[in-house]
């Protein structure tokens, strides 16, 4: 942990130093800076959802129809119908989740969305370009990336994992009543015990701090104990329905690129000045493809 900003800036400057200086070991940041443009891919707008919060926070969530087509279809129908507008962030449980939607669980769904959907906890590996990480995982025989997604697999079955920023569909005790009326994201350590118990539908790509830096709910399990304490959702829109000037312009490092491989390798084997002992490994949730905003 850098003790203050000054040495950190010195390090950043050193990393960008002239070729005449002795070469500095690569850092995750320097790998990203040097990545060719083609190793970044624009985040597609058709499955990108934008949530605008009271106070001006904007959150961009990429949805995963490859893993949860039914739930993603439902959520997109709800977003297109502006079903989420005027609802709330109703739960912030420290160390666990931020959740939003209809706290009363009774707002009627719009045409095109249904109350009950079969669980989409896992899918066949077949048809997926699975790129394995070469490190042990506590929960699954193998983990890796499928396009932008952190994925665990077990033989022929694959599933999305509960990493920081991943978004899932709240449900009650019945596995088939998650429909998108309540969504949540992981705001602390991964909650991998939820994997294959909940339908995971996406990842917060931008604006995560608007969901983490919130007062914690004082009710049971971090629910807010009064509606007046909840942060209102102004509007949820699919990005491609926003005016062009209002759309997020995000790029994500392609997980099938050489730069991604280098970035993962350097994260697992830090040799820049600060580090005295490279970890020799990286966990799946620390290997989510980096995202940048194009201004």
> Under rule CB under 8 A, which residues in 194-213 are in contact with its own copies?
194-198, 208-209, 212-213
Minimum CB distance to its own copies smaller for 93 or for 259: 93
Minimum CB distance to its own copies smaller for 4 or for 245: 4
Minimum distance between the CB of residue 294 and its own copies, rounded to whole angstroms? 19
Piece of 18-26, 65-73, 80-88, 271-279 that binds its own copies (CB under 8 A)? 271-279
Contact between 227 and its own copies per CB under 8 A:
no
Minimum CB distance to its own copies smaller for 79 or for 170: 170
Which has the closest alpha carbon to 79: 240, 232, 204?
A: 240
Residues 198, 202, 155, 116, Cα dihedral to 10°: 40
Minimum CB distance to its own copies smaller for 48 or for 282: 282
Which has the closest alpha carbon to 167: 85, 277, 47, 81?
A: 47
Are 165 and 183 in contact by the 8 Å Cβ rule? The answer is no
Q: What is the largest CA-CA distance in the chain?
A: 66
Are 71 and 47 in contact by the 8 Å Cβ rule? The answer is no
Chain positions 251 to 270 lying near its own copies, rule: CB under 8 A, are 267-268, 270
Contacts of the segment 4-11: beta carbons below 8 A, 24+ positions apart: 11/272, 11/273, 11/274
Contact between 172 and its own copies per CB under 8 A:
yes
Beta-bridge mates of residue 251: 42, 292
Minimum CB distance to its own copies smaller for 26 or for 97: 97
Contact between 7 and its own copies per CB under 8 A:
yes
Piece of 30-38, 72-80, 232-240, 276-284 that binds its own copies (CB under 8 A)? 276-284
């Amino acid at each position: 942990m850098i003790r203050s900003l000054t040495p950190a800036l010195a390090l950043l400057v050193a990393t960008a130093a002239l070729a005449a200086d002795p070469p500095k070991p690569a850092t995750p940041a320097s790998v990203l800076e040097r990545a060719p443009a083609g190793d970044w891919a624009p985040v597609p707008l058709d499955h990108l959802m934008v949530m605008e919060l009271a106070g001006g926070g904007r959150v961009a969530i990429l949805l995963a129809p490859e893993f949860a087509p039914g739930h993603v279809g439902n959520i997109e129908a709800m977003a297109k119908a502006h079903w989420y507008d005027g609802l709330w962030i109703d739960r912030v449980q420290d160390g666990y989740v931020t959740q939003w939607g209809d706290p009363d669980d009774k707002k009627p769904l719009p045409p095109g969305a249904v109350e009950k959907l079969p669980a989409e906890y896992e899918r066949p590996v077949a048809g997926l370009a699975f790129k394995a990480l070469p490190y042990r995982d506590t929960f699954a025989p193998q983990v890796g990336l499928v396009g932008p997604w952190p994925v665990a697999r077990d033989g022929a079955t694959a599933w999305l994992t509960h990493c920081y920023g991943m978004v899932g569909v709240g449900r009650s005790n019945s596995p088939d009543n998650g429909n998108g009326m309540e969504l949540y994201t992981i705001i602390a350590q991964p909650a991998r015990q939820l994997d294959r118990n909940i339908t995971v539908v996406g990842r917060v790509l931008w604006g995560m701090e608007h969901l983490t830096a919130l007062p914690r709910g004082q009710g049971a399990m971090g629910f807010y104990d009064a509606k007046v304490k909840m942060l209102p959702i102004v509007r949820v829109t699919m990005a491609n329905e926003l005016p062009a000037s209002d759309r997020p312009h995000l790029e994500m490092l392609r997980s099938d690129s050489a730069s991604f491989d280098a970035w993962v390798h350097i994260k697992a084997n830090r040799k820049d000045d600060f580090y005295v002992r490279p970890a020799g490994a990286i966990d799946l949730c620390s290997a989510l493809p980096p995202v940048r905003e194009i201004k």
